[in-house]
Amino acid sequence: MPGPLFSPVDYDPARFDPETRRLLRATIDWFEARGKRALVADFHAKRFHADFLRFAAQEQLFATLLTPRAEAGRAADKRWDTARIAALSEILGFYGLSYWYPWQVTILGLGPVWQSGNQVARARTAAVLDEGGVCAFGLSERDHGADIYATDMVLTPDGQGGYRATGGKYYIGNGNVARVVSVFGRVEGVEGPDAYVFFTADSSHPNYHLIRNVVPQQIYVSEFRLEDYPVTADDILHTGPAAFDAALNTVNIGKFNLSFGGIGIAEHSLYEAITHAHNRVLYGNRVTDFPHVRAQFVEAYTRLLAAKLFCDRAVDYFRSANPDDRRYLLFNPVTKMKATTEAERVVTLLTDIVAAKSFEADSYLTIAATDIRGLPKLEGTVAVNMALILKFLPQYLFPQGTHADVPTRQTPDDDAFLFRQGPARGLNTITFADWREPYRTFHHIPNVAVFSEQADALTALVTAGITPDQTKDLDFAITLGDLFTLVVYGQLILEQAELTGTDTHTLDQIFATFTADFSRYATALHNKPSSTAAQQKWALSAIRKPDVDPTRFTAVWNQVAALSGTYEMKP
Ligand SMILES: Cc1cc2nc3c(=O)[nH]c(=O)nc-3n(C[C@H](O)[C@H](O)[C@H](O)COP(=O)(O)OP(=O)(O)OC[C@H]3O[C@@H](n4cnc5c(N)ncnc54)[C@H](O)[C@@H]3O)c2cc1C
């Protein structure tokens, strides 16, 4: 029976329809047939992934998985289905960020198009996907970073109802090959949000100047310039404040996949690390006989399973979202910020264990150690996502709302709501159900009980008051956000555990890790320059030692040890 981790050996997700299963399997088979030698050699040679794009084109991989039903015509398997998009993101991450990234930026490039009512642009984009083309998302500019309000991509009216666009974009993935580049800019002479425009450009147009790849990697993260680029009504996707909403809503859709990419990277790393360490004998003993190595493996494994449980459950909230249930707007930045950071932690733990092996030319871990660093930083840094998460703190911790239970969503539906999310504002009107409910369900598990005490203590901290200066001080607020995020993370993990029957030992071990994390963040809050005497007292009182149970630890360790030798990429 397949275990909780993705494995190319036995992957056949029964939850999907036959064509989805075929496509996912074909992708795995393509990577395995090409083999590990080619994978690592191409990575180190920084060879562009043109062969992967050819494979994807031939299989209609992106066209099938990324065309919403409204543009699907008679193709029965095309739909925008977050569950299978997440599944492919995990698989591509498993083989490396170099393959996940062109898929991811295609998703981002499609965001403004599928949110647009421009039928010409929509049909053209669907045709590009059918031809095996990819897309790009042209938001960032060299001088403006996260400040997307500031754009120097300027559209000047051409006097015939269209525009000429001139300006540069920076850090734009697929900008070397994309036939649909969704570009954010502003109309000259118009003030404020009314000036914003999202339009499409084609990288093969003579007025589109590709300047260079700004990263020294296999992926192509372009700097490009438009010079007098003609923009007609057929190219305009959004204007005014709607263009800005389209940018944010696109990132909402796209950044979800970073966590699945990170989970895939961490899974492949775990197979390689356990197989190496468990079979390596030093001083007459296995490396995995060292108690600290076992502890690191168990921590890596439980953090990885926790990230999977959370992200799989977040898919359900994403797919069930509607104008009256926008809870995904909290779970999404948690997915992005927390799960990618956790995946990075997992890879760091594993590379600490295997040490020199994670520097070798033929190790996947060498690739993973480089790739994993990007995920927490891209599409909003940890700080940017944390600022967003904190907006939900009051209404989440002190819920006023009720919501029907969100079921597991694995049905072959088109997630059309994601393309009509509406204005990005109004976050403070989003209501939550009682987060304590799943904690109560699992209160019999010792570390869930310990962690619940800490979560309750957090509500006491907030009730006692955060000073107005502390609210504005992001350095303080991020630590508060770390504490808060753990509670949200735990809620969805427990919900998913109930839905999937996760074993008690694993859950207990996961919450042992979270209890220790909470204690660490509480200590950090204690040490913040602005913490008050009362908050310092609170912090010390919130520290808990996780419940210790050698039987449980050994049971989880045995799950990790059993992974040794179960998967090795074909040479
Ligand atoms: C490999 C790669 C691929 C990329 N692909 C694309 C792409 O395809 N399309 C695209 O449009 N962009 C892309 N980007 C750009 C990416 O999203 C940028 O990282 C982003 O624009 C932020 O800019 P910056 O990293 O320069 O950080 P800056 O915005 O300069 O931020 C600097 C620091 O300030 C903090 N900060 C900024 N704003 C806030 C805030 N509001 N609250 C709290 N802290 C804040 C940040 O946390 C950060 O630590 C890519 C970048 C890379 C490296």
Nearest atom, ligand 1, residue 474 CA: 43
Beta bridge partners of 138: 183
Q: Give the mean pLDDT of 223-238.
A: 98
pLDDT of residue 106: 98
Structure-block tokens of residue 439: 């904690």
Q: In whole angstroms, give the CA distance from residue 417 to residue 415.
A: 6
pLDDT of residue 1: 64
- Among 465, 396, 477, smallest CA distance to 436 is for 396
Q: Which one of 381, 472, 475 would you pick to mutate in the ligand 1 pocket, going by the greatest count of ligand atoms within 8 A of its CB? A: 381
CB 224 within 8 A of CB 210: yes
Is the pLDDT at 151 greater than 70? The verdict is: yes
pLDDT of residue 456: 98
Distance from residue 390's CA to the centre of ligand 1 (Å): 19
CB 98 within 8 A of CB 218: yes
Question: Whose alpha carbon is nearest atom 3 of ligand 1?
Answer: 171
Q: In whole angstroms, give the CA distance from residue 102 to residue 6.
A: 21
pLDDT of residue 379: 86
- Among 171, 128, 177, smallest CA distance to 148 is for 171
Each residue of 81-113: pLDDT tens digit?
A: 999 999 999 999 999 999 999 999 999 999 999
Distance from residue 381's CA to the centre of ligand 1 (Å): 7
Q: Is the CB of 137 under 6 A from ligand 1?
A: yes
Q: Is the CB of 223 under 6 A from ligand 1?
A: no
Contacts of 383 (CB under 8 A, 6+ apart): 474, 478
DSSP 316-385: HHHHT-BTTB-THHHHHHHIIIIIHHHHHHHHHHHHHHHGGGGGSTT-HHHHHHHHTTTTTTSSS-HHHH
CB 120 within 8 A of CB 101: no
Greatest C-alpha distance within the chain:
81
Each residue of 436-474: pLDDT tens digit?
A: 999 999 999 999 999 999 999 999 999 998 998 998 899
Q: Is the CB of 141 under 6 A from ligand 1?
A: no
Distance from residue 279's CA to the centre of ligand 1 (Å): 41
Q: In whole angstroms, give the CA distance from residue 381 to residue 393.
A: 19
Amino acid at 166: T
Beta bridge partners of 508: none
* Residue with token string 């969704």: 182
Amino acid at 412: P
Q: How many residues does the chain have?
A: 571
Each residue of 339-381: pLDDT tens digit?
A: 999 999 999 999 999 999 999 999 999 999 999 999 999 888 9
Structure-block tokens of residue 341: 């950071």
Q: In whole angstroms, give the CA distance from residue 19 to residue 16.
A: 8
Q: Which residue has the higher pLDDT, 402 or 72?
A: 72
Nearest atom, ligand 1, residue 173 CA: 8
pLDDT of residue 465: 86
CB atoms within 10 A of CB 45: 9
Question: Whose alpha carbon is nearest atom 2 of ligand 1?
Answer: 171
Q: Is the CB of 214 under 6 A from ligand 1?
A: no
Q: Is the CB of 146 under 6 A from ligand 1?
A: yes
Q: Is the CB of 521 under 6 A from ligand 1?
A: no
Q: In whole angstroms, give the CA distance from residue 259 to residue 338.
A: 8
Burial 486-506 (b: 16+ CB within 10 A, else e): bbbbbbbbbbbbeeeebeebb
CB 423 within 8 A of CB 245: yes
Distance from residue 542's CA to the centre of ligand 1 (Å): 34
Q: Is the CB of 224 under 6 A from ligand 1?
A: no
Question: Whose alpha carbon is nearest atom 43 of ligand 1?
Answer: 384
Distance from residue 173's CA to the centre of ligand 1 (Å): 13
Structure-block tokens of residue 541: 């009182």
171 φ/ψ angles, rounded to the nearest 5 degrees: 70, 35
Q: Which residue has the higher pLDDT, 141 or 468?
A: 141
Q: Is the CB of 221 under 6 A from ligand 1?
A: yes
Is the pLDDT at 400 greater than 90? The verdict is: no
Collapsing DSSP to helix, strand or coil, 3 comes out as coil
Distance from residue 224's CA to the centre of ligand 1 (Å): 17
CB atoms within 10 A of CB 316: 23
- Among 78, 183, 203, smallest CA distance to 129 is for 78
Angle, vertex CA 313, rays to CA 316 and CA 397, nearest 5: 100
pTM for the whole thing? 0.97
Q: Is the CB of 378 under 6 A from ligand 1?
A: yes
Structure-block tokens of residue 567: 């998967």
* DSSP code, position 420: G
